[in-house]
Amino acid sequence: AVGLATKVMPHNFCELIEASIDILNGKETNIMPDFFMGGIADCSQYRGGMKGGKIRIRSHIEIRGKKDLVIKDIPYGCTTGSLIDSILKANDEGKIKIKKVIDNTAKDVEILVELAAGISPEQTIDALYAFTDCEVSISPNTCVIVGNKPQFIDVNEMLKICTFNTKDLLKEELEIKKNDLLEKILYGSLEKIFIENRIYRDIEECTTWEDVLLKIDIGLTPYKPQFYREIIKDDLIRLTEIKIKRISKYDTFKADELMKSRAQELKETEEHLANLNRFSINYFKNLLKKYGKGRERRTELQSFDAIKGTEVALNNQKLYVNRADGFIGYGLKKDEFVCDCSDIDDIIIFTDDGKYYIKKIGEKVFVAKNIIYLAVFNKDLKDATFNTIYKDGESGISMMKRFQVQGVIRDKEYDLTKGNPKSKLMYFSANLQGETEIVKVTLSPSCSAKNKTFEYNFADLEVKGKTALGNILTKYPVKKIDFKSKSDAAKKKTTDEKAGENALFKGK
């Protein structure tokens, strides 16, 4: 089943050993992936490798000189070839502008990216992360078999299970070693008694096999209480297999020294069993000391913000609009030009009835008729302040409103008015820096107001959310509203580095 597919990330050997030691010491662990090819990894959403987690991995990219970038490593799962192909594809699609890519990889990864003239290296680095395999996202899924059933387990829990399994194996090894030493000590003692007490001579006159074994057993009887187990028939048979040469050259001193050595080894083994946790910790420490050199972490752990492609893509298209029919796109070359854009930009569109939309740009996209304003919906416009005056379709009252467009969903219809039919925008301005302006309001000549004209400064109006209905400007019918003046701050020219033009008017 696809949902049970296992994708366990590689981790650092030294960190796993150190984490196992922490587990045996009763401490909590939080291990993070480490990739052989290095790179930078954001594991803030790793979730211990559980399903639903995510890792973002980036290459190290350095600026060399004024127009070259050097990629020093490649993300996990990529090759130099696939990485270069993704860069060339992004260049062909107009998302980045480069002259050429040179693969200088030998022992270490080195991919040289030569930029086109006038292109910002810093912006290109962000674009490489956004549009190429210089940044990849991996979704781990730690699914393992436990008790013949698939289970989703946190990698820290998995390491804990493996650590205690290792501890159990070490215990089994020690018990096997202990039993082996006990048997060697037992047989060494039997052999010594058999030879030094010349029991072998007592069997010379025995006529049957049973008599031989019986004589040996009788000879060993006084010493049986010192043995850790009963003497069995196989032990007696083994003594009969000792060769004459072995008996004649038997060295009591060497035999005693060997017995002492085995007794000391048995004592140490029993101590290890009695202090199994400490023995296991020392085992892991020895592993780290023996094999840890040269296995240091290669991947740098770092938190980094996601790069939105719309914010770093180069302008490779032009935005056009047919206001009356309600179409926008980069294919409407016979219609009104608005601004330069990229083919992945979002566009914000306002119509004269107070409706507005966020649309993905395309060759030809229908929005709504009677468009009064549209612009590339970039990070600057998301912080912009819109100043509006509209006539409510039900009451006829003129409402004024200052708001920002934030937290919007693509392709959803929004309304800056009360939503009543026949509502209509009478004044609209978009201000990237939150500027205010003074407008001149001319009332209908037939109204009963004494002053048929007055001025209003939007600086007196508080900026509210996009769903606010606004404040009353006047209850009298309005003939027209004219722009009078901007504040001093609004007169300063602000430049959009991406467009290379007056950012205040990147939209019409």
Write down the pLDDT at residue 207: 85
Write down the pLDDT at residue 329: 93
Please give the Cα distance from 131 to 121 (Å, whole number): 15
Confidence of residue 384 (pLDDT cuts 50, 70, 90): confident
Mean of pLDDT values over 58-73: 92
Q: Is the predicted pLDDT of residue 497 greater than 70, yes or no?
A: no
Mean of pLDDT values over 65-70: 90
| % residues pLDDT > 70 (the chain) | 94
Confidence of residue 1 (pLDDT cuts 50, 70, 90): low
Residue 238: what are its φ and ψ, rounded to 5°?
-65, -35
* DSSP type of residue 85: H
Q: What CATH number is given for 2-157 in this structure? A: 3.30.1360.40
Q: Is the predicted pLDDT of residue 271 greater than 60, yes or no?
A: yes
Q: Is the predicted pLDDT of residue 492 greater than 60, yes or no?
A: no
Please give the Cα distance from 235 to 233 (Å, whole number): 5
Q: What is the mean pLDDT of the chain?
A: 89
Write down the pLDDT at residue 285: 97
Q: Is the predicted pLDDT of residue 503 greater than 90, yes or no?
A: no
Write down the pLDDT at residue 487: 61
Contact 18, 288 (CB under 8 A): yes
| % residues pLDDT > 90 (the chain) | 66
Confidence of residue 303 (pLDDT cuts 50, 70, 90): confident
Confidence of residue 242 (pLDDT cuts 50, 70, 90): confident
506: tokens are 């990147």
Write down the pLDDT at residue 316: 79
Q: Is the predicted pLDDT of residue 231 greater than 80, yes or no?
A: yes
Please give the Cα distance from 384 to 403 (Å, whole number): 9
Mean of pLDDT values over 408-414: 91
Contact 418, 355 (CB under 8 A): no
Write down the pLDDT at residue 496: 38
Nearest to 342 by CA among 130, 504, 495, 137: 130
Mean of pLDDT values over 111-137: 92
Tell me the domain boundaries of the chain: 2-157, 174-280, 315-505
Mean of pLDDT values over 102-131: 92
* DSSP type of residue 235: H
Q: Residue written as tokens 């350095």? A: 62
Write down the pLDDT at residue 413: 93
Q: Is the predicted pLDDT of residue 508 greater than 80, yes or no?
A: no
Please give the Cα distance from 195 to 239 (Å, whole number): 9
Minimum mean pLDDT among 45-59, 259-273, 372-386: which range? 372-386
What is the pTM for the complete model shown? 0.68
Nearest to 310 by CA among 366, 377, 406: 377
Minimum mean pLDDT among 81-90, 160-169, 235-244, 489-498: which range? 489-498
